Structure 1
Amino acid sequence: MQQKGTQSPWKRAGGENSQNRKVTDFYPVRRSSRKSKMELKCEEKKLIDDLITSGIEEGMEVQYIEGKGRAVFATRCFQKGDYVVEYHGDLLQITDAKKREAEYAQNPATGCYMYYFQYLCKTYCVDATKETGRMGRLINHSKNGNCQTKLHDINGVPHLILIASRNIDKGEELLYDYGDRSKASIAAHPWLKY
């Protein structure tokens, strides 16, 4: 509390006729090196674009599991929301995809690696049936998987990617829900129930 007849220290220090001082007269201007959310999102998108277009798949390895077949395991930790891998294959429109699926049905030895999805009001399919060195097509199904699919646009072309739906430890099998609950599919592939 200020006593009567005394001036506040602020008025005394500046005085009536003294120059107005600014904080920057005493302290240098500092610019923040933090990036905005938009800058961070753009950088993250560019990184994922580069990984997809270059075909780089890191942090995973394929192992064989008796009675199950090939499976993909994490060789490093993934944090929730991290890009894991692209579900890579031929991008087809629905009419071409249905024709190809009918061809595959002729040969029971051919597995089905076709993933249908909606993008900008059109139905597309990524056909990953052709055997390649890419690992996204080998990630197995689980209703409680640790990955989930997400659409990623590169110059107007949709790509299906898998991202970590929770933190994933090194050595864990990578799994996602295929989403197919039709009676015919479950009859042909009982493992879809789990």
Structure 2
Amino acid sequence: MIPYLSASEIMIRGLKDENNEYLQQTFLVKQVSQRGRSVFSKKTFKKGDYVIEYKGTCKEYDEHEFRALHATYEKNGELSYCLEFSVEGKKYLIDATREFEFGIARLINYAKNPNLKLFRPLVVENGKNPRIAIYAATNISVGEELFWDYFSSLNPAKCLLSSNNAELDEIKWIYSRRLKTGKITYKLPKRRISERSGVCVICYKYLKKLSNHLITTHGVSEKGQRQKMILEGRSLKIGDALDAIKPDVKRRRKLTCHICSRDYFQLSTHLARVHKLSPELRRYHVESSKKM
């Protein structure tokens, strides 16, 4: 009869038994387009099985030391593979940046729907620093690419992807998701178009509630059409708005006041406020100024 082992006992046994031979027989590292180096499984794992240790130099976390270490790696053109976690109020750091022989776990890429998870920190030997075991979150088949979620496991990990993937598009990396088929998809959130203010492309007025104006004044009920009109209005320069959308519409020009010999866009308003003219006289001055 097989003795029952708790999850902690399974992880501790895996940490003790892991060696270089196990790593070579179980994992394959190869280049993947858009993600750089990635890790693939050579054997099957059942959900809950021990997979690999996040191996590196483990020590108590010090902010100044970490910043200096990160600056050194950046100066040398190296990627920093550091994992932070806390145990019993103490903060630790595992630096796997230069763990070239046994540091396969550092090359496992990120995905929101991972097939691996990090187990809580375990002290395998008394007086030694805690260690991090990675276990199978789902059933894993032969040849399947391995992923884990950098942000939901333990404390947020300051791990980086390969330079190729990071330089590709950081936004796509953040919103990447692993499908059940093993492929990676990048589903970016839809950018909501602000409908509060903008220039109306029909009456050429700047309005604080442009979407409401298009509905109530111009009867544009379709949301897609309103959004298109809002974007079209925002792409125009203020001075060229009329010419860009309706070249046949004449731009309003300044009219000359015959009394003070100055030009005004709103000549009728000027005549009423400054010269106190009656509507009939204002109309006469405007028409005569247009003929000039």
Give the structure 1 partner of residue 170 of structure 2: 189
Check whether the contact 1:181–1:192 (CA below 8 A) recurs between aligned residues.
no
Matched, 1:129 2:97: yes
Q: Does 1:163 align with 2:135?
A: yes
TM-score, normalised by the number of residues in structure 1? 0.68
Structure 1 unaligned regions, length at least 5: 1-32
Q: Does 1:75 align with 2:42?
A: yes
Aligned partners of 1:155, 1:68: CA distance in 2, in Å? 36
1:41-89 residue CA offsets vs partner (Å, 9 max, x unmatched): 486355223224x454242111111332111001111111111111111
How many residue pairs are counted as aligned between the two chains? Answer: 155
Deviation at 1:105, TM superposition (A): 3.6
Match of 1:139 among 108, 122, 136: 108
State the partner residue of 1:8: none
Map 1:106-125 to 2 at 5 A: 106-107=75-76, 109-125=77-93
Q: What TM-score, normalized by structure 2, do the two folds share? A: 0.47
- What is the identity percentage for the equivalent residue pairs of Structure 1 and Structure 2? 29
Q: 5+ residue gaps in structure 2? A: 177-292
Task: Identify the structure with bigger relative contact order (alpha carbons < 8 Å, sequence gap 6+).
Answer: 1
- Kindly indicate whether residue 154 of structure 2 is the aligned counterpart of residue 154 of structure 1: no
Cα distance in structure 1, aligned partners of 2:148 and 2:95: 17
**What amino acid does structure 2 have at the position aligned with 1:145?**
P
Partner of 1:15: none
| Deviations 1:69-126, CA, capped at 9 Å, x for gaps | 111001111111111111111112211334312332434x211201111112111111
Q: Cα 1:169–1:193, aligned 2, differ >3 Å: closer, same or farther?
A: same
Tell me how large the CA RMSD over aligned residues is.
2.8
Q: Structure 2 vs 1, CA of residues 176 and 63 (structure 1 numbering), >3 Å: closer, same or farther? A: same
The residue number in structure 2 matching 1:51 is 17
Following the alignment from structure 2 to structure 1, what is the Cα–Cα distance between the partners of residues 39 and 57?
21
